[in-house]
Structures are given as C-alpha cells and as structure tokens.
Amino acid sequence: MRKTKPDFLPYIFSTILIMLIGFLAFSKFVKENFYYPTTETTIRPTITLITTTTIPIHTPEKIRTCVQDSDCAWLSTNCCPETAGANWECINRKSNVSCSGFIVICPQVISPKPSLPCKCLNGVCSVP
C-alpha cells in the first residue's frame, strides 16, 4: 500500500484568509482612529509659545551660632520628612527652614533623626 501525501492546501489558504481579514480590520481601525491629511487639506503650521514658570529653589537660612545647648537642634534642611530622605543638620532652632511655597522632590528612603547629641560648642552648633 502506498502512503498518500497529506493535503496542506486548505490549511495554507485558510491561514492566508485569516491574515487578510485581520489586516483589513486593522487598516479600518487605523483609518477611523487616526487623522491622515488628504491632498485637499491645507496644512498650516502653527507656533505655540510655551510659558515657563520659575520654580524657586529652597535655600534655607541656616544659623549655626548659639549661646547654649538648648539653642541647637537637629533640623531637616531639605524640607523632607524622616520617612522620605530628610537631610539632618545640627543648626540653631531659629534657623529659617520653612518650606511653604516650595516644590520639593524627596527620595523615598527612611532617614531618621540622628541619635547623636546636637550641642553648642564654642558658640557654634555642632556634634561633639
């Protein structure tokens, strides 16, 4: 008995038909959802000026001088909390480190307040 070759022709034609239907559906979708200018349309370029806003940079006024230990404290000088990358400095409590009106991007790392004492040494807030 002689083996017959399998007939792959219907499979090939059905694959090509499915691909053609998919291509036509895709091209219809693109035509309906995207704008293609025709030769009848006149395209005039427009120039849009983008207005920029100046973001103020936070530069805290750090006072390092002191008279007694109670004048000094650990303060975050980059406007970030302990839970988001605070930059702690041993400075005078009267330092202007107000952050209102400033846009600040804080790193998402925990930065707890240092446990070392912040004291007044020789008239300057520092860590002993």
Q: What residues make up the domain containing 83?
A: 69-126
Q: Structure tokens of 111?
A: 């930065």
| CA pair distance 126, 128, nearest whole angstrom | 6
On whether residue 53 sits in a domain, the answer given is: no
Q: What is the tens place of the pLDDT at every residue in 61-98?
A: 678 889 999 999 998 888 888 888 888 999 998 887 77
What pLDDT sits at residue 55?
45
Q: Quick one: pLDDT band at residue 23, thresholds 50, 70, 90?
A: confident
On whether residue 93 sits in a domain, the answer given is: yes
On whether residue 21 sits in a domain, the answer given is: no
| CA pair distance 65, 87, nearest whole angstrom | 19
On whether residue 78 sits in a domain, the answer given is: yes
On whether residue 88 sits in a domain, the answer given is: yes
Distances (CA, A) of 1 to 4, 22, 40, 77: 9, 43, 69, 92
**Sign of dihedral through CA atoms 91, 95, 98, 99?**
negative
Number of domains observed in the structure of the chain? 1
Q: Which residue has better confidence, 52 or 65?
A: 65
